[in-house]
Amino acid sequence: MNKRRIGLIRVVSYRGESRASLHGRLLERLYPELEVVTRCIPDQPKGIYDAETEALAVPKIISLGERMCREDRIEALIVSCAADPGVEGLRERVRLPVIGAGSSVACLALAFSDRVATMGITEGTPARMKALLGPCLVAEARPTGVTNTFELNTGAGKASAFAALRGLVAKGARVVALACTGFATLGVADEMTKQAGIPVLDPVVAAGLFAYAYIER
């Protein structure tokens, strides 16, 4: 099979190749047509978890994205973060399609229902997701005790996320958009879907779907 190459930006500065490329490998498994080149922004070992760390990351994401579009022979670029940091700026600067994980999962959710809930690790739903969901956003949750992607990836963090999920279903949500790409690292969307009885959508998988849709046209 002739693989089609896309780029993926991690907004956490992982040191190890295997942790860094986890989202890319997930997409290569789901969409065998894709080959994913992963690069991390520098000097943010804890990633993006508030307005300050987001502001710090944006210029790094734009600079890295521009370089990847020039040098990595990619056909589309994913920014693997639910806040879509740098996506708007990159779209002004590069010709390739730039796909944000946050807007992707919001768009995927809206295709299935007009009663969408979000679950993330920041205070409230990321702004771009919130704007896209508009009046279709019926509930929001953050797992108790989780404030960054590493706290999510613990036994207590995971249990807390499943507890929060039950609350969203009770509030009338018909689909849940996970608003942190740390959920992809955990790989819990399918298990959550089974438990909740409604689709629980992963932002990295959603971004991969739209990259695949663009490439396959």
Q: CA-CA distance, 216 to 209, in Å (whole number)?
A: 10
Interface with a copy of itself, residue 112, by CB under 8 A:
yes
Interface with a copy of itself, residue 217, by CB under 8 A:
yes
Residues 85-104 that bind a copy of itself (CB under 8 A): 88, 91, 97, 99, 103-104
Interface with a copy of itself, residue 172, by CB under 8 A:
no
Reading the block at residue 50, the tokens are: 């508030």
Interface with a copy of itself, residue 108, by CB under 8 A:
yes
Reading the block at residue 67, the tokens are: 């370089």
Residue 40 or 58: the one with the smaller Cβ distance to a copy of itself is 58
- Applying CB under 8 A, among 48, 119, 132, 137 the residue interacting with a copy of itself is 132
Instruction: Name the strands in the sheet holding 4-10, side by side, starting at the edge strand that comes first in the sequence.
Output: 34-40, 4-10, 77-80, 98-100
Residues 11-30 that bind a copy of itself (CB under 8 A): 30
Q: State the residue for tokens 């600079």.
A: 63
| Closest residue by Cα to residue 74 from 37, 20, 103, 44 | 37
Residue 161 or 207: the one with the smaller Cβ distance to a copy of itself is 207
Residues 190-209 that bind a copy of itself (CB under 8 A): 190, 193, 199, 209
Interface with a copy of itself, residue 32, by CB under 8 A:
no
What sign results for the dihedral spanned by CA atoms 25, 20, 111, 34?
negative
Q: How far is the CB of 186 from a copy of itself (least distance, A)?
A: 16
Residue 111 or 170: the one with the smaller Cβ distance to a copy of itself is 111
Residue 32 or 42: the one with the smaller Cβ distance to a copy of itself is 32
